[in-house]
Structure 1
Protein backbone atom coordinates (compact mmCIF):
# COMPACT_ATOMS: atom_id res chain seq x y z
CA UNK A 1 0.00 0.00 0.00
CA UNK A 2 2.85 2.34 0.87
CA UNK A 3 4.39 1.88 -2.57
CA UNK A 4 1.05 2.56 -4.28
CA UNK A 5 0.70 5.84 -2.38
CA UNK A 6 4.24 6.83 -3.33
CA UNK A 7 3.52 6.03 -6.97
CA UNK A 8 0.30 8.04 -6.88
CA UNK A 9 2.11 10.95 -5.29
CA UNK A 10 4.62 10.93 -8.13
CA UNK A 11 2.18 10.40 -11.00
CA UNK A 12 -0.74 12.59 -9.93
CA UNK A 13 1.00 15.95 -10.53
CA UNK A 14 2.01 14.76 -14.00
CA UNK A 15 -1.54 13.71 -14.80
CA UNK A 16 -3.00 16.98 -13.55
CA UNK A 17 -0.42 18.97 -15.49
CA UNK A 18 -1.20 17.06 -18.67
CA UNK A 19 -4.91 17.69 -18.20
CA UNK A 20 -4.50 21.47 -18.00
CA UNK A 21 -5.67 23.26 -21.17
CA UNK A 22 -2.97 25.12 -23.03
CA UNK A 23 -2.51 28.87 -22.74
CA UNK A 24 -2.04 31.11 -25.84
CA UNK A 25 1.75 31.19 -25.61
CA UNK A 26 1.91 27.40 -25.35
CA UNK A 27 -0.44 26.99 -28.30
CA UNK A 28 1.68 29.37 -30.36
CA UNK A 29 4.89 27.49 -29.55
CA UNK A 30 3.32 24.20 -30.63
CA UNK A 31 1.73 25.72 -33.74
CA UNK A 32 4.95 27.26 -35.11
CA UNK A 33 7.27 24.41 -34.12
CA UNK A 34 9.14 22.77 -36.98
CA UNK A 35 7.54 19.41 -36.23
CA UNK A 36 3.85 18.64 -36.58
CA UNK A 37 1.30 18.90 -33.78
CA UNK A 38 -1.24 16.11 -33.42
CA UNK A 39 -3.59 18.14 -31.17
CA UNK A 40 -3.57 21.16 -33.47
CA UNK A 41 -7.22 21.04 -34.56
CA UNK A 42 -8.46 21.19 -30.98
CA UNK A 43 -6.88 24.62 -30.57
CA UNK A 44 -7.85 26.27 -33.87
CA UNK A 45 -11.02 28.09 -34.89
CA UNK A 46 -12.35 30.23 -37.71
CA UNK A 47 -9.98 31.11 -40.52
CA UNK A 48 -6.97 29.65 -38.69
CA UNK A 49 -8.62 26.23 -38.78
CA UNK A 50 -9.26 26.60 -42.49
CA UNK A 51 -5.68 27.62 -43.25
CA UNK A 52 -4.07 24.73 -41.36
CA UNK A 53 -6.06 21.70 -42.46
CA UNK A 54 -3.13 19.31 -42.94
CA UNK A 55 -0.02 21.13 -41.74
CA UNK A 56 0.68 23.44 -38.85
CA UNK A 57 2.05 26.89 -39.55
CA UNK A 58 5.44 25.70 -38.35
CA UNK A 59 5.51 23.01 -41.01
CA UNK A 60 4.65 25.56 -43.70
CA UNK A 61 7.44 27.95 -42.65
CA UNK A 62 10.87 27.14 -44.15
CA UNK A 63 12.78 24.90 -41.77
CA UNK A 64 15.83 27.18 -41.93
CA UNK A 65 13.97 29.90 -40.02
CA UNK A 66 14.18 29.97 -36.24
CA UNK A 67 11.03 30.94 -34.33
CA UNK A 68 10.69 32.96 -31.13
CA UNK A 69 7.27 33.40 -29.52
CA UNK A 70 6.39 36.15 -27.07
CA UNK A 71 3.09 36.85 -25.33
CA UNK A 72 2.18 40.43 -26.15
CA UNK A 73 -1.25 40.69 -24.54
CA UNK A 74 -3.67 38.36 -22.77
CA UNK A 75 -7.01 39.47 -21.37
CA UNK A 76 -10.18 37.68 -20.37
CA UNK A 77 -11.39 37.09 -23.93
CA UNK A 78 -8.51 37.79 -26.33
CA UNK A 79 -4.76 37.36 -26.55
CA UNK A 80 -1.97 38.16 -29.01
CA UNK A 81 1.32 36.32 -29.41
CA UNK A 82 4.10 37.66 -31.62
CA UNK A 83 6.35 35.28 -33.52
CA UNK A 84 9.74 36.42 -34.78
CA UNK A 85 11.11 34.38 -37.68
CA UNK A 86 14.82 34.77 -38.36
CA UNK A 87 17.92 33.26 -39.86
CA UNK A 88 21.41 34.64 -40.47
CA UNK A 89 20.26 37.12 -43.12
CA UNK A 90 16.60 37.94 -42.52
CA UNK A 91 14.07 38.62 -39.80
CA UNK A 92 10.29 38.93 -39.97
CA UNK A 93 7.26 38.96 -37.67
CA UNK A 94 3.82 37.37 -37.60
CA UNK A 95 1.04 37.87 -35.07
CA UNK A 96 -1.27 35.18 -33.69
CA UNK A 97 -4.68 36.33 -32.45
CA UNK A 98 -6.52 34.16 -29.93
CA UNK A 99 -10.07 34.09 -28.60
CA UNK A 100 -11.31 32.43 -25.46
CA UNK A 101 -14.38 30.19 -25.71
CA UNK A 102 -15.74 29.73 -22.20
CA UNK A 103 -17.98 26.88 -23.38
CA UNK A 104 -15.02 24.73 -24.44
CA UNK A 105 -13.61 23.54 -21.13
CA UNK A 106 -11.04 21.19 -22.66
CA UNK A 107 -9.48 23.90 -24.84
CA UNK A 108 -10.91 27.34 -24.04
CA UNK A 109 -8.17 29.28 -25.85
CA UNK A 110 -8.20 28.91 -29.62
CA UNK A 111 -6.10 30.47 -32.34
CA UNK A 112 -8.49 32.48 -34.52
CA UNK A 113 -6.27 34.33 -37.00
CA UNK A 114 -2.69 34.71 -38.20
CA UNK A 115 -1.62 38.16 -39.37
CA UNK A 116 1.40 39.97 -40.82
CA UNK A 117 1.89 43.24 -42.66
CA UNK A 118 0.51 42.74 -46.17
CA UNK A 119 1.24 44.25 -49.57
CA UNK A 120 4.98 44.70 -49.07
CA UNK A 121 5.93 42.91 -52.31
CA UNK A 122 7.17 46.09 -53.99
CA UNK A 123 9.50 46.88 -51.12
CA UNK A 124 12.42 44.48 -51.82
CA UNK A 125 12.82 45.35 -55.54
CA UNK A 126 12.56 49.07 -54.72
CA UNK A 127 15.20 48.66 -52.02
CA UNK A 128 17.47 46.74 -54.39
CA UNK A 129 17.10 49.40 -57.08
CA UNK A 130 17.95 52.22 -54.68
CA UNK A 131 20.82 50.33 -53.04
CA UNK A 132 22.51 49.63 -56.38
CA UNK A 133 21.98 53.10 -57.83
CA UNK A 134 25.26 54.70 -59.02
CA UNK A 135 26.27 58.05 -57.46
CA UNK A 136 25.43 60.01 -60.61
CA UNK A 137 21.92 58.57 -60.66
CA UNK A 138 21.55 59.28 -56.95
CA UNK A 139 22.32 62.94 -57.60
CA UNK A 140 19.75 63.07 -60.39
CA UNK A 141 17.20 61.27 -58.23
CA UNK A 142 17.70 63.76 -55.40
CA UNK A 143 17.18 66.68 -57.78
CA UNK A 144 13.89 65.21 -58.98
CA UNK A 145 12.68 64.17 -55.52
CA UNK A 146 13.88 66.77 -53.00
CA UNK A 147 11.11 65.94 -50.51
CA UNK A 148 11.90 62.21 -50.51
CA UNK A 149 15.54 61.94 -51.47
CA UNK A 150 17.59 58.78 -51.92
CA UNK A 151 18.74 58.49 -48.30
CA UNK A 152 15.20 59.04 -47.01
CA UNK A 153 13.71 56.39 -49.29
CA UNK A 154 16.38 53.85 -48.36
CA UNK A 155 15.79 54.32 -44.65
CA UNK A 156 12.02 54.46 -45.01
CA UNK A 157 11.69 51.28 -47.08
CA UNK A 158 14.03 49.39 -44.76
CA UNK A 159 11.72 50.23 -41.86
CA UNK A 160 8.54 49.57 -43.85
CA UNK A 161 9.44 46.01 -44.88
CA UNK A 162 11.80 45.24 -42.00
CA UNK A 163 11.33 43.46 -38.70
CA UNK A 164 9.71 45.00 -35.65
CA UNK A 165 13.11 44.88 -33.95
CA UNK A 166 14.47 47.27 -36.59
CA UNK A 167 11.76 49.82 -35.81
CA UNK A 168 12.40 49.35 -32.10
CA UNK A 169 16.11 50.04 -32.60
CA UNK A 170 15.38 53.04 -34.83
CA UNK A 171 13.12 54.52 -32.16
CA UNK A 172 15.64 53.85 -29.39
CA UNK A 173 18.35 55.70 -31.35
CA UNK A 174 16.05 58.64 -32.12
CA UNK A 175 13.70 58.84 -29.16
CA UNK A 176 14.59 62.44 -28.33
CA UNK A 177 13.96 63.49 -31.93
CA UNK A 178 10.58 61.73 -31.95
CA UNK A 179 9.67 63.47 -28.71
CA UNK A 180 10.65 66.86 -30.15
CA UNK A 181 8.42 66.23 -33.17
CA UNK A 182 5.48 65.25 -30.96
CA UNK A 183 5.97 68.32 -28.79
CA UNK A 184 6.15 70.56 -31.87
CA UNK A 185 2.85 69.16 -33.17
CA UNK A 186 1.16 69.64 -29.81
CA UNK A 187 2.44 73.19 -29.38
CA UNK A 188 1.28 74.19 -32.86
CA UNK A 189 -2.18 72.63 -32.30
CA UNK A 190 -2.24 71.03 -35.74
CA UNK A 191 -4.91 68.57 -34.67
CA UNK A 192 -8.19 69.28 -32.88
CA UNK A 193 -10.87 66.88 -31.75
CA UNK A 194 -13.26 67.84 -34.55
CA UNK A 195 -13.70 64.74 -36.75
CA UNK A 196 -14.97 66.69 -39.76
CA UNK A 197 -11.70 68.64 -40.00
CA UNK A 198 -9.29 65.70 -39.63
CA UNK A 199 -8.34 65.52 -43.32
CA UNK A 200 -7.67 69.24 -43.64
CA UNK A 201 -5.72 69.32 -40.38
CA UNK A 202 -3.57 66.41 -41.48
CA UNK A 203 -2.88 68.08 -44.81
CA UNK A 204 -1.88 71.33 -43.11
CA UNK A 205 0.39 69.57 -40.63
CA UNK A 206 2.23 67.62 -43.30
CA UNK A 207 2.68 70.74 -45.42
CA UNK A 208 4.49 72.52 -42.59
CA UNK A 209 8.18 72.84 -43.50
CA UNK A 210 9.39 72.98 -39.90
CA UNK A 211 7.59 69.75 -39.09
CA UNK A 212 8.89 68.07 -42.23
CA UNK A 213 12.42 69.01 -41.21
CA UNK A 214 11.83 67.11 -37.96
CA UNK A 215 10.19 64.09 -39.62
CA UNK A 216 12.60 63.66 -42.54
CA UNK A 217 15.59 62.31 -40.53
CA UNK A 218 13.19 59.89 -38.80
CA UNK A 219 12.03 58.39 -42.13
CA UNK A 220 8.42 59.31 -41.34
CA UNK A 221 6.23 59.98 -44.38
CA UNK A 222 3.41 61.80 -42.57
CA UNK A 223 1.63 62.37 -39.28
CA UNK A 224 -2.02 61.55 -38.84
CA UNK A 225 -4.85 60.72 -36.47
CA UNK A 226 -6.96 58.68 -38.86
CA UNK A 227 -5.46 55.17 -38.96
CA UNK A 228 -6.08 53.83 -35.45
CA UNK A 229 -9.53 55.20 -34.68
CA UNK A 230 -8.02 56.97 -31.68
CA UNK A 231 -8.68 60.71 -31.66
CA UNK A 232 -6.03 61.37 -29.03
CA UNK A 233 -3.27 59.21 -30.56
CA UNK A 234 -0.62 60.98 -32.62
CA UNK A 235 0.41 58.69 -35.47
CA UNK A 236 3.82 58.80 -37.15
CA UNK A 237 3.34 56.80 -40.34
CA UNK A 238 6.33 55.03 -41.89
CA UNK A 239 4.49 53.66 -44.89
CA UNK A 240 2.24 51.04 -46.36
CA UNK A 241 -0.26 50.38 -49.12
CA UNK A 242 -3.98 51.16 -48.69
CA UNK A 243 -4.95 49.96 -45.19
CA UNK A 244 -1.78 47.95 -44.59
CA UNK A 245 0.19 50.51 -42.63
CA UNK A 246 3.15 50.50 -40.27
CA UNK A 247 4.29 53.29 -37.99
CA UNK A 248 4.58 54.56 -34.45
CA UNK A 249 2.12 56.46 -32.32
CA UNK A 250 2.33 58.59 -29.21
CA UNK A 251 -0.24 58.19 -26.45
CA UNK A 252 0.98 59.00 -22.93
CA UNK A 253 -2.29 57.79 -21.37
CA UNK A 254 -2.17 53.98 -21.40
CA UNK A 255 -5.94 53.83 -20.87
CA UNK A 256 -6.45 55.48 -24.26
CA UNK A 257 -4.35 53.01 -26.25
CA UNK A 258 -6.59 51.23 -28.79
CA UNK A 259 -7.08 47.48 -28.73
CA UNK A 260 -5.62 45.00 -31.18
CA UNK A 261 -7.77 42.88 -33.48
CA UNK A 262 -7.14 40.71 -36.54
CA UNK A 263 -9.54 42.92 -38.52
CA UNK A 264 -7.79 46.27 -38.13
CA UNK A 265 -4.87 46.90 -35.75
CA UNK A 266 -2.96 43.64 -35.98
CA UNK A 267 -0.22 44.60 -33.52
CA UNK A 268 0.62 47.29 -30.97
CA UNK A 269 3.99 47.01 -29.22
CA UNK A 270 5.03 49.35 -26.41
CA UNK A 271 8.33 51.13 -26.99
CA UNK A 272 8.39 53.10 -23.76
CA UNK A 273 7.41 56.56 -22.50
CA UNK A 274 4.03 56.56 -24.23
CA UNK A 275 5.33 55.43 -27.63
CA UNK A 276 4.10 52.36 -29.52
CA UNK A 277 4.76 50.49 -32.75
CA UNK A 278 1.63 49.67 -34.75
CA UNK A 279 0.58 47.82 -37.87
CA UNK A 280 -2.83 47.75 -39.52
CA UNK A 281 -4.62 45.70 -42.12
Structure 2
Protein backbone atom coordinates (compact mmCIF):
# COMPACT_ATOMS: atom_id res chain seq x y z
CA UNK A 1 0.00 0.00 0.00
CA UNK A 2 1.27 3.46 -0.91
CA UNK A 3 2.33 5.80 1.89
CA UNK A 4 2.10 8.88 -0.32
CA UNK A 5 0.07 11.93 0.53
CA UNK A 6 -3.59 11.49 -0.49
CA UNK A 7 -5.30 13.83 -2.89
CA UNK A 8 -7.59 16.65 -1.80
CA UNK A 9 -10.99 17.35 -3.38
CA UNK A 10 -12.06 20.92 -4.01
CA UNK A 11 -14.56 23.03 -5.97
CA UNK A 12 -13.39 26.02 -8.02
CA UNK A 13 -15.93 28.75 -8.85
CA UNK A 14 -14.79 30.24 -12.17
CA UNK A 15 -16.13 32.43 -14.95
CA UNK A 16 -14.95 31.58 -18.47
CA UNK A 17 -16.14 33.69 -21.40
CA UNK A 18 -19.03 34.92 -19.28
CA UNK A 19 -20.14 31.40 -18.32
CA UNK A 20 -20.32 30.46 -14.64
CA UNK A 21 -18.49 27.25 -13.76
CA UNK A 22 -18.08 25.21 -10.60
CA UNK A 23 -15.12 22.97 -11.34
CA UNK A 24 -14.61 19.79 -9.32
CA UNK A 25 -10.90 19.08 -8.90
CA UNK A 26 -8.51 16.78 -7.09
CA UNK A 27 -4.97 17.83 -6.30
CA UNK A 28 -1.96 17.21 -4.14
CA UNK A 29 0.89 19.44 -3.05
CA UNK A 30 4.50 18.47 -3.64
CA UNK A 31 8.00 19.83 -4.05
CA UNK A 32 8.61 18.31 -7.50
CA UNK A 33 7.34 19.51 -10.88
CA UNK A 34 3.54 19.33 -11.14
CA UNK A 35 1.57 17.25 -13.61
CA UNK A 36 -1.74 18.50 -15.00
CA UNK A 37 -4.17 15.85 -16.27
CA UNK A 38 -6.95 16.58 -18.79
CA UNK A 39 -9.42 13.70 -19.13
CA UNK A 40 -11.15 12.52 -22.27
CA UNK A 41 -14.77 12.78 -23.36
CA UNK A 42 -16.93 10.63 -21.11
CA UNK A 43 -14.25 10.33 -18.46
CA UNK A 44 -13.48 12.22 -15.26
CA UNK A 45 -10.69 13.36 -12.99
CA UNK A 46 -10.78 10.00 -11.21
CA UNK A 47 -9.05 8.45 -14.23
CA UNK A 48 -5.87 9.87 -12.69
CA UNK A 49 -6.56 9.62 -8.96
CA UNK A 50 -4.35 6.53 -8.71
CA UNK A 51 -1.29 8.70 -9.17
CA UNK A 52 -1.20 8.72 -5.36
CA UNK A 53 -0.71 4.94 -5.47
CA UNK A 54 2.30 5.20 -7.78
CA UNK A 55 5.63 5.37 -5.96
CA UNK A 56 7.30 6.85 -9.04
CA UNK A 57 5.30 10.05 -8.52
CA UNK A 58 6.11 10.51 -4.83
CA UNK A 59 6.69 14.18 -4.09
CA UNK A 60 5.13 15.36 -7.34
CA UNK A 61 2.35 17.89 -7.25
CA UNK A 62 -0.64 17.15 -9.49
CA UNK A 63 -4.02 18.54 -10.53
CA UNK A 64 -6.89 16.79 -12.29
CA UNK A 65 -10.39 18.15 -12.72
CA UNK A 66 -13.72 17.45 -14.37
CA UNK A 67 -14.12 19.47 -17.55
CA UNK A 68 -17.22 21.68 -17.82
CA UNK A 69 -20.24 19.54 -18.62
CA UNK A 70 -18.53 16.44 -17.24
CA UNK A 71 -18.37 14.60 -13.94
CA UNK A 72 -19.08 16.71 -10.87
CA UNK A 73 -18.35 20.05 -12.55
CA UNK A 74 -21.21 22.43 -13.26
CA UNK A 75 -21.63 24.80 -16.20
CA UNK A 76 -24.33 27.46 -16.55
CA UNK A 77 -24.42 27.26 -20.38
CA UNK A 78 -23.55 23.87 -21.84
CA UNK A 79 -23.95 25.14 -25.40
CA UNK A 80 -20.80 27.28 -25.04
CA UNK A 81 -18.49 24.31 -24.46
CA UNK A 82 -15.89 23.66 -27.15
CA UNK A 83 -12.21 22.75 -27.21
CA UNK A 84 -11.32 26.45 -27.12
CA UNK A 85 -13.59 26.88 -24.10
CA UNK A 86 -11.98 23.88 -22.40
CA UNK A 87 -8.54 25.35 -23.02
CA UNK A 88 -9.61 28.65 -21.45
CA UNK A 89 -10.93 26.70 -18.49
CA UNK A 90 -7.57 24.95 -18.13
CA UNK A 91 -5.81 28.31 -18.02
CA UNK A 92 -8.01 29.48 -15.17
CA UNK A 93 -7.47 26.24 -13.25
CA UNK A 94 -3.71 26.69 -13.63
CA UNK A 95 -4.01 30.27 -12.40
CA UNK A 96 -6.08 29.18 -9.40
CA UNK A 97 -3.41 26.69 -8.31
CA UNK A 98 -0.53 29.03 -9.10
CA UNK A 99 1.02 26.62 -11.59
CA UNK A 100 3.34 28.23 -14.13
CA UNK A 101 5.30 25.31 -15.64
CA UNK A 102 4.07 21.74 -15.66
CA UNK A 103 4.07 18.30 -17.21
CA UNK A 104 0.94 17.85 -19.30
CA UNK A 105 -1.05 14.63 -19.80
CA UNK A 106 -4.20 14.61 -21.92
CA UNK A 107 -6.42 11.82 -23.19
CA UNK A 108 -8.62 12.01 -26.31
CA UNK A 109 -10.67 15.23 -25.92
CA UNK A 110 -8.25 16.22 -23.16
CA UNK A 111 -5.33 15.42 -25.45
CA UNK A 112 -6.65 17.85 -28.04
CA UNK A 113 -7.28 20.48 -25.36
CA UNK A 114 -3.75 19.90 -24.09
CA UNK A 115 -2.30 20.26 -27.58
CA UNK A 116 -3.99 23.63 -28.08
CA UNK A 117 -2.76 24.72 -24.65
CA UNK A 118 0.81 23.62 -25.36
CA UNK A 119 0.74 25.23 -28.80
CA UNK A 120 -0.38 28.61 -27.46
CA UNK A 121 1.79 28.54 -24.31
CA UNK A 122 4.81 26.42 -25.28
CA UNK A 123 7.18 27.81 -22.67
CA UNK A 124 4.97 26.59 -19.84
CA UNK A 125 4.94 22.90 -20.77
CA UNK A 126 7.79 20.72 -19.48
CA UNK A 127 6.61 17.61 -21.33
CA UNK A 128 3.47 16.38 -23.07
CA UNK A 129 1.98 12.89 -22.93
CA UNK A 130 -0.74 12.70 -25.58
CA UNK A 131 -2.95 9.64 -24.98
CA UNK A 132 -4.68 9.22 -28.34
CA UNK A 133 -5.58 12.89 -28.51
CA UNK A 134 -6.62 14.17 -31.92
CA UNK A 135 -3.74 15.09 -34.21
CA UNK A 136 -5.27 14.02 -37.55
CA UNK A 137 -8.73 13.62 -39.13
CA UNK A 138 -8.62 9.84 -38.65
CA UNK A 139 -8.72 10.36 -34.88
CA UNK A 140 -12.38 11.46 -34.96
CA UNK A 141 -13.79 7.94 -34.67
CA UNK A 142 -15.94 9.04 -31.72
CA UNK A 143 -16.52 12.73 -32.37
CA UNK A 144 -17.30 12.40 -36.09
CA UNK A 145 -20.44 10.51 -35.17
CA UNK A 146 -22.05 13.93 -34.74
CA UNK A 147 -21.71 14.18 -38.55
CA UNK A 148 -22.21 10.53 -39.49
CA UNK A 149 -25.30 10.04 -37.31
CA UNK A 150 -27.00 13.45 -37.27
CA UNK A 151 -29.91 13.96 -34.88
CA UNK A 152 -31.82 17.13 -34.12
CA UNK A 153 -32.39 16.07 -30.53
CA UNK A 154 -29.25 16.06 -28.39
CA UNK A 155 -30.61 13.53 -25.91
CA UNK A 156 -31.51 11.12 -28.71
CA UNK A 157 -28.08 11.46 -30.33
CA UNK A 158 -26.31 10.81 -27.04
CA UNK A 159 -28.45 7.76 -26.23
CA UNK A 160 -27.72 6.25 -29.65
CA UNK A 161 -24.02 7.11 -29.30
CA UNK A 162 -23.89 5.24 -26.00
CA UNK A 163 -25.43 2.13 -27.55
CA UNK A 164 -23.06 2.16 -30.51
CA UNK A 165 -20.14 2.53 -28.13
CA UNK A 166 -21.39 -0.26 -25.88
CA UNK A 167 -21.15 -2.74 -28.76
CA UNK A 168 -17.91 -1.47 -30.32
CA UNK A 169 -15.33 -4.28 -30.76
CA UNK A 170 -12.64 -2.65 -28.64
CA UNK A 171 -11.22 -3.13 -25.16
CA UNK A 172 -13.20 -1.34 -22.41
CA UNK A 173 -15.86 0.04 -24.78
CA UNK A 174 -18.75 -1.50 -22.85
CA UNK A 175 -17.26 -0.40 -19.53
CA UNK A 176 -16.84 3.13 -20.87
CA UNK A 177 -20.36 3.23 -22.30
CA UNK A 178 -21.95 2.05 -19.05
CA UNK A 179 -21.18 5.30 -17.24
CA UNK A 180 -21.39 7.83 -20.07
CA UNK A 181 -24.83 9.17 -19.20
CA UNK A 182 -23.64 9.74 -15.62
CA UNK A 183 -20.41 11.49 -16.61
CA UNK A 184 -21.47 13.81 -19.45
CA UNK A 185 -24.41 16.18 -19.80
CA UNK A 186 -26.11 15.61 -23.15
CA UNK A 187 -26.22 19.35 -23.79
CA UNK A 188 -22.43 19.50 -23.90
CA UNK A 189 -21.91 16.75 -26.47
CA UNK A 190 -22.63 18.51 -29.76
CA UNK A 191 -20.39 21.52 -29.13
CA UNK A 192 -17.50 19.34 -27.99
CA UNK A 193 -17.77 16.93 -30.91
CA UNK A 194 -18.24 19.61 -33.55
CA UNK A 195 -15.20 21.54 -32.37
CA UNK A 196 -13.10 18.36 -32.27
CA UNK A 197 -14.03 17.51 -35.85
CA UNK A 198 -13.47 21.07 -37.07
CA UNK A 199 -10.04 21.31 -35.48
CA UNK A 200 -9.02 17.85 -36.67
CA UNK A 201 -10.03 18.61 -40.25
CA UNK A 202 -8.92 22.21 -40.56
CA UNK A 203 -6.40 23.30 -37.91
CA UNK A 204 -3.21 21.43 -38.94
CA UNK A 205 -3.04 19.63 -35.62
CA UNK A 206 -0.18 17.47 -36.86
CA UNK A 207 1.89 20.55 -37.59
CA UNK A 208 1.09 21.98 -34.17
CA UNK A 209 2.01 18.73 -32.41
CA UNK A 210 5.27 18.20 -34.28
CA UNK A 211 6.17 21.86 -33.85
CA UNK A 212 6.18 21.67 -30.06
CA UNK A 213 9.65 22.03 -28.56
CA UNK A 214 8.93 20.13 -25.34
CA UNK A 215 9.50 16.36 -25.14
CA UNK A 216 6.44 14.54 -26.50
CA UNK A 217 5.10 11.04 -26.09
CA UNK A 218 2.14 9.62 -27.99
CA UNK A 219 0.43 6.76 -26.17
CA UNK A 220 -1.98 4.40 -27.92
CA UNK A 221 -3.53 0.98 -27.45
CA UNK A 222 -2.28 -1.92 -29.51
CA UNK A 223 -5.74 -2.17 -31.09
CA UNK A 224 -4.97 1.21 -32.68
CA UNK A 225 -1.44 0.38 -33.83
CA UNK A 226 -2.57 0.85 -37.44
CA UNK A 227 -2.89 4.64 -37.06
CA UNK A 228 -1.30 5.83 -40.28
CA UNK A 229 0.83 8.60 -38.81
CA UNK A 230 2.69 6.64 -36.11
CA UNK A 231 5.88 6.04 -38.15
CA UNK A 232 5.91 9.70 -39.22
CA UNK A 233 5.67 11.19 -35.74
CA UNK A 234 8.24 8.72 -34.43
CA UNK A 235 10.63 9.82 -37.17
CA UNK A 236 10.06 13.41 -36.02
CA UNK A 237 11.26 12.65 -32.49
CA UNK A 238 8.00 11.73 -30.77
CA UNK A 239 8.34 8.84 -28.34
CA UNK A 240 5.73 6.14 -28.95
CA UNK A 241 4.17 4.11 -26.14
CA UNK A 242 2.07 1.18 -27.32
CA UNK A 243 -0.05 -0.23 -24.50
CA UNK A 244 -0.75 -3.97 -24.80
CA UNK A 245 -4.26 -5.43 -24.60
CA UNK A 246 -5.73 -1.97 -24.92
CA UNK A 247 -7.85 0.15 -27.23
CA UNK A 248 -8.58 3.84 -26.65
CA UNK A 249 -8.66 3.66 -22.85
CA UNK A 250 -5.37 2.61 -21.22
CA UNK A 251 -6.58 3.91 -17.85
CA UNK A 252 -9.30 1.22 -17.92
CA UNK A 253 -7.66 -1.62 -19.86
CA UNK A 254 -4.05 -1.53 -18.70
CA UNK A 255 -3.45 1.21 -16.11
CA UNK A 256 -0.31 -0.38 -14.66
CA UNK A 257 1.55 -0.08 -17.96
CA UNK A 258 0.07 3.37 -18.57
CA UNK A 259 1.46 4.70 -15.30
CA UNK A 260 4.82 3.02 -15.89
CA UNK A 261 5.13 4.65 -19.29
CA UNK A 262 4.19 8.11 -18.02
CA UNK A 263 6.59 7.85 -15.08
CA UNK A 264 9.48 6.64 -17.23
CA UNK A 265 8.89 9.38 -19.80
CA UNK A 266 8.70 12.17 -17.23
CA UNK A 267 11.83 10.86 -15.52
CA UNK A 268 13.68 10.89 -18.84
CA UNK A 269 12.71 14.53 -19.41
CA UNK A 270 13.56 15.79 -15.90
CA UNK A 271 15.31 19.14 -16.01
Query: Under a length normalisation based on structure 1, what TM-score does the superposition of the two structures give?
Result: 0.28
Larger Rg: 1
TM score, norm. by length of structure 2: 0.28
Higher relative contact order (CA 8 A, sep 6+): 2
